[in-house]
Amino acid sequence: MTSNSFNAAAGIIDEKKYFHLLVEKLRQIVVRPVKLMEVCGTHTMAIGKAGMRGVLPPEVELISGPGCPVCVTADSDIDAFMRLAKDERVILATYGDMVRVPGTEGSLAELKAQGADVRVVYSALEALDFARTEGDKEVVFLGIGFETTAPATAHAIKTAKAENLSNFSIYNLHKTVPEALRVLLEDETTTIDGFILPGHVSVIIGETPYAFIAEEYGIAGAIAGFEPPEIMAAIVKLVKDINAETPVISNLYRKAVRPEGNVVAQNLLREIFTSADADWRGLGVIPGSGLALSKNYEQFDAAQKLGIEKIQVKLHPGCRCGEILKGIIKPRQCPLFAKRCTPENPVGPCMVSSEGTCAAYFLYHGGDGHVG
């Protein structure tokens, strides 16, 4: 259990005890094979780190979903922001997760070694500092992430406008989760009996945007925290709901997720962004799953400002990341996994990101891919 867990710090919960009690309960109640998808890449990592697959009854299969923002970034977008990084007018500010993603001429880390001005930041507000102090350069922030991360980008854009910063813009890769879940539910090649829903996306959006999963598709969902007993509690709840044939969306992460979500953040997102189509690796273009800059803020769109066009490219031949993101195959079924594609020399985004499914499997289920 992590030492900075709120539960542990507050001295409220003996997490280890509950984890084992919940595992025991799960073994008692499971009556048929169930496939549960953990949507969020951070859950994938937490499940791997805690060795949870090893303690689950054989009937319960966890499959990893499209909830790793780096992994779902389309090749055409990767190619476009690489071209941006090479522009001599540009300082490209990015979260650390993106710097090793391979492009046609290497990763951002490699471009940096060749002289491109690529800077890793912890928050979008840090990128604003570059724009304030280096007025002769265009500071482009790589805006990536789901609803958890988008408010930070929105805050930076709003601040840039208030300060009349004309040398700040974003290359926008933000995406929203519920629409991707609908695509998975509509896809006849996927079988999902229940969703472990992303805790920190839900902090922002609340419970309601997932209602269609139970109401329209009859599939259960449980919003979960990131400590092992929090994830195990979600699994127990899903199996109970599946057994009872009462699919509902449960919130098992109430200490952080209010039913209505974070309304301040939602209002900020609505002010800065507007719903748009977005291109997802593996899932294709999903209507309404992106966040484009709204009319009042479109001057902060780096692609428009710097004339960067998206070109259809195929960057990672042989990589089956797309099928892995839909839960159709496991990493070990990709012929590149742990052979040509490793965390040291990743071929595709699912191996690059620390929370990518392939990276998690390599790290926690053995590079030989025999487990999991």
Residues that bind another protein (CB under 8 A): 3-7, 9-10, 12-13, 18, 21-22, 25, 29, 40-42, 67-70, 95, 97, 122-126, 144-146, 148-149, 151-152, 155, 198-201, 203-204, 225-226, 229-230, 233, 236-237, 240, 252-258, 262, 264-265, 268, 353, 355
User: At its nearest, how many Å lie between another protein and the CB of residue 108?
Assistant: 16
Instruction: Report, in Å, the least distance between residue 16 CB and another protein.
Output: 13
Nearer to another protein, 172 or 262 (CB): 262
Nearest to 201 by CA among 150, 245, 237, 240: 150
Burial of 109 (0-12, 13-18, 19+ CB in 10 A): middle
By C-beta, is 22 or 336 nearer to another protein? 22
In angstroms, give the least distance from the CB of 58 to another protein. 21
Pick 181 or 338: Cβ nearer another protein = 181
End-to-end CA distance of the chain: 22
Q: How many angstroms separate the CA atoms of 46 and 159, rounded?
A: 34
What minimum distance in Å lies between the beta carbon of 335 and another protein?
27
Cα–Cα distances (Å) from 312 to 75, 244, 285, 309, in that order, read 7, 46, 13, 10
DSSP states of 42-56: HHHHHHHHTTHHHHS
Output 89 or 255, the one with its CB closest to another protein: 255
Nearer to another protein (CB atom), residue 44 or residue 167: 44
Burial (CB < 10 A; 0-12, 13-18, 19+), residue 217, is middle
Question: How near is the Cβ of 307 to another protein at its closest, in Å?
Answer: 28
Q: Distance (Å, rounded) from C-alpha 234 to C-alpha 221?
A: 8
The minimum distance between CB 364 and another protein, in angstroms, equals 16
Comparison of 69 and 102: residue with beta carbon closer to another protein: 69
